[in-house]
């Protein structure tokens, strides 16, 4: 046995992770169901480092040093279970099975329990950054036991992205914690992309600017607080011209956004845990609306608009308003996502360090951004921070943009520009900061029709009013 680590599943992601490991001087065992992939990897990239290819899974396992560390990088779902079922009988106590695919975290919880019962470590690991990241340094979010991290962690940290010399990989927490955090990362990515799309639409409709002009604005924004991978690629996309038509590329792309499901999982979990992740939810529903073709056809040209023409008096003021509204909305979306991580951490007993999550998202992954430093700093100031927005830096940052944010959301409503994520983020902000919410009325209604009881502002206990009788109040407990 010579290999330090093995990778089974050598499609784009597995292939690039294996190459990344080899380039970091690890001896990498290789296996893939269809052997031709293994052969072509060694043929094309054998000079990346030392590979030990095997056609049979038995030989692959036998080529690994103990404790054996196997990364599974296959299609998430049934394929992962099939590979685990084949692999487990070949392993021995203390060996480490890493699922680096995009598993849904309840599957990871189930698999971790099953393998633990057999004396194996199962590490559900989020990997972000796509194929380019897998090769040159992704953000890596491993869950599982701390004990397994002692063997696996240093290897993953070596191949991860680095920001200021700090690896974008850390131990996340037990069980499904790693895949959970990756799921929320993707949810936040949905929100971020939707917010950027709304900013683009506002600039387009408010200024009548061309795609390329808006690309210039995004490129400018990428030099400030908004600096991030997504803003950078947005500028690139907006500058791109379609070769066939000579039109702006964005104008020839069909306006129906698709999804693979991680946004949906994030929203479903937000509902399960009762965490208001409105930014992520609006972003996921906005994609669904864009793909609601019959509904859009029935509405287009039929539903009246009654809009006022958008009169932007000062172009620079408007652009700055949109930038500030985008930043404030983004803070809300991230604040909500980190709330969801805190809620899940408490629910499942994961003890996730939110500041560390922001730190490992600074490089390698799709939501990498300058702004994440600020989040790490906020949780360094107060690890138990109940609301990211309440950290002094973010409170001030949002306050600075608040008037811009209100002008933009009001203007969008008057002019009929759909801004679900901008608007709902502002509604969340006003909701969470409110002295008193109309939820009191909802509690009264619930007691009226369903005897669901209510609590009072002026005393403890639970009460019910006899709505259909003499309207007297009784204390329930």
Which residues are annotated as part of the binding site for substrate?
Answer: 102, 128-130, 185-186, 190, 260, 287, 446, 452
Verify binding: residue 82, ligand NBP, rule CB under 6 A.
yes
- Beta strands per DSSP E along 155-246: 162-163, 166-167
Joined tokens for residue 393:
């830096």
Catalytic-residue membership of 65: no
Verify binding: residue 37, ligand NBP, rule CB under 6 A.
yes
Q: Measured from the CB atom, is 103 or 358 closer to ligand NBP?
A: 103
- From 34, 302, 459, 472, residue interacting with ligand NBP (rule: CB under 6 A): 34
Verify binding: residue 23, ligand NBP, rule CB under 6 A.
no
Q: Minimum distance from CB of 265 to ligand NBP (Å)?
A: 12
Interface mask toward ligand NBP for 89-118; x: CB under 6 A: ------------xx----------------
Q: Minimum distance from CB of 330 to ligand NBP (Å)?
A: 23
Q: Measured from the CB atom, is 9 or 144 closer to ligand NBP?
A: 9
Annotated active-site residue in 189, 198, 282, 330: 189
* Greatest alpha-carbon span in the chain: 86
Verify binding: residue 258, ligand NBP, rule CB under 6 A.
no
Stretch that binds ligand NBP, among 126-134, 332-340, 369-377, 415-423 (CB under 6 A): 126-134
Question: 52 and 21 in contact (C-beta within 8 Å)?
Answer: no
Annotated active-site residue in 182, 198, 282, 330: 182
Q: Measured from the CB atom, is 72 or 211 closer to ligand NBP?
A: 72
* Residue 35: Cβ within 10 Å count: 15
Verify binding: residue 83, ligand NBP, rule CB under 6 A.
yes
Q: Minimum distance from CB of 64 to ligand NBP (Å)?
A: 18
Verify binding: residue 74, ligand NBP, rule CB under 6 A.
yes
Joined tokens for residue 281:
């939810």
Using CA atoms, how far apart are residues 202 and 193, in angstroms rounded to an integer? 14
- From 39, 42, 79, 207, residue interacting with ligand NBP (rule: CB under 6 A): 79
Question: 239 and 215 in contact (C-beta within 8 Å)?
Answer: yes
Comparing every residue's Cβ against ligand NBP, the nearest one is 101
Verify binding: residue 367, ligand NBP, rule CB under 6 A.
no
Q: What is the DSSP letter of 52?
A: E
Task: Tell which residue, 124, 127, 74, 70, has the closest CA to residue 94.
Answer: 70
DSSP 88-111: GGG--TT-EEEE-S---HHHHHHH
Verify binding: residue 177, ligand NBP, rule CB under 6 A.
no
Verify binding: residue 56, ligand NBP, rule CB under 6 A.
no
Stretch that binds ligand NBP, among 125-133, 162-170, 344-352, 371-379 (CB under 6 A): 125-133
Q: Minimum distance from CB of 398 to ligand NBP (Å)?
A: 32
Specify the 3-state DSSP secondary structure of 177. helix
Task: Tell which residue, 264, 266, 124, 108, has the closest CA to residue 184.
Answer: 266
Joined tokens for residue 54:
């095997």
Binding to ligand NBP (CB under 6 A): which residues in 131-150?
A: 131
Task: Tell which residue, 226, 201, 231, has the closest CA to residue 216.
Answer: 231
Q: Measured from the CB atom, is 186 or 329 closer to ligand NBP?
A: 186
Question: How many angstroms separate the Cα of 394 from the Cα of each of 228, 230, 232, 427?
Answer: 17, 21, 23, 17
Return all residues near 324 (Cβ < 8 A) that are at least 6 apart. Answer: 400, 401, 404, 405
Binding to ligand NBP (CB under 6 A): which residues in 2-21?
A: 9-14
Q: Minimum distance from CB of 214 to ligand NBP (Å)?
A: 27
Question: 186 and 36 in contact (C-beta within 8 Å)?
Answer: no
Joined tokens for residue 270:
């937000």
Using CA atoms, how far apart are residues 204 and 216, in angstroms rounded to an integer? 13
Verify binding: residue 127, ligand NBP, rule CB under 6 A.
yes
With contacts defined by CB under 6 A, how many residues of the chain interact with ligand NBP? 22
What is the bridge-based pairing of β-strands 121-128 and 69-72?
A: unpaired
Question: How many angstroms separate the Cα of 316 from the Cα of each of 142, 206, 348, 398?
Answer: 44, 12, 48, 20
Catalytic-residue membership of 182: yes
Stretch that binds ligand NBP, among 57-65, 124-132, 160-168, 300-308 (CB under 6 A): 124-132
Catalytic residue positions, numbered:
182, 189
Residues that bind ligand NBP (CB under 6 A): 9-14, 32-34, 37, 73-76, 79, 82-83, 101-102, 127, 130-131
């Amino acid at each position: 046995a010579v290999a330090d680590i093995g990778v089974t599943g050598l499609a784009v992601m597995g292939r690039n992770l294996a190459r990344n490991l080899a380039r970091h001087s690890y001896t990498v065992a290789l296996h893939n169901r269809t052997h031709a992939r293994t052969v072509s990897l060694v043929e094309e990239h054998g000079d990346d480092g030392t590979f030990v290819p095997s056609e049979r899974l038995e030989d692959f396992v036998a080529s690994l040093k103990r404790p054996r560390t196997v990364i599974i990088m296959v299609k998430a779902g049934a394929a992962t279970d099939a590979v685990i079922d084949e692999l487990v009988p070949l392993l021995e106590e203390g060996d480490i099975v890493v699922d680096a695919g995009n598993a849904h975290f309840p599957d990871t919880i189930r698999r971790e329990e099953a393998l633990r019962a057999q004396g194996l470590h199962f590490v559900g690991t989020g990997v972000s950054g796509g194929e380019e990241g897998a090769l040159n340094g992704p953000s890596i979010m491993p869950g599982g036991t701390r004990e397994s991290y002692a063997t696996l962690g240093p290897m993953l940290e070596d191949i991860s992205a680095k920001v200021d010399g700090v690896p974008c990989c850390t131990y996340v927490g037990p069980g499904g914690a790693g895949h959970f955090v990756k799921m929320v990362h993707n949810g936040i990515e949905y929100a971020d992309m939707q917010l950027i799309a709304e900013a683009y639409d506002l600039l387009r409709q408010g200024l009548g600017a061309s795609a390329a002009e808006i690309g210039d604005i995004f490129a400018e924004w990428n030099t400030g607080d908004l600096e991030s991978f997504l803003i950078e690629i947005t500028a690139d996309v907006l500058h791109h011209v379609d070769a066939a038509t000579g039109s702006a590329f964005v104008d020839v792309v069909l306006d129906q956004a698709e999804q693979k499901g991680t946004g949906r999982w994030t929203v479903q979990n937000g509902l399960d845990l009762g965490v208001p992740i409105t930014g992520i939810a609006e972003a996921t529903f906005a994609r669904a609306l864009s793909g609601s073709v019959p509904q859009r056809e029935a509405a287009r040209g039929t539903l009246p608009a009654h809009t006022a023409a958008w009169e932007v008096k000062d172009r620079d003021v408007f652009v700055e308003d949109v930038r500030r509204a985008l930043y404030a909305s983004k803070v809300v979306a991230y604040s909500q996502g980190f709330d969801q991580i805190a809620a899940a951490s408490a629910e499942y007993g994961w003890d996730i360090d939110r500041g560390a999550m922001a730190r490992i998202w600074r490089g390698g992954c799709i939501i990498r951004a300058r702004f994440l430093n600020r989040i790490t700093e906020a949780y360094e100031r107060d690890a138990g921070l109940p609301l990211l927005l309440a950290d002094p830096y973010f409170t001030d940052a949002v306050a600075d943009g608040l008037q811009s944010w209100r002008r933009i959301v009001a203007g969008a409503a008057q002019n009929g520009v759909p801004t679900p994520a901008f608007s709902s983020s502002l509604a969340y902000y006003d909701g969470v900061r409110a002295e008193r919410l109309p939820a009191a009325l909802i509690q009264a209604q619930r007691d009226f029709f369903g005897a669901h009881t209510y609590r009072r502002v002026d005393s403890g206990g639970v009460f019910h009013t006899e709505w259909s009788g003499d309207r007297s109040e009784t204390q329930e407990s």
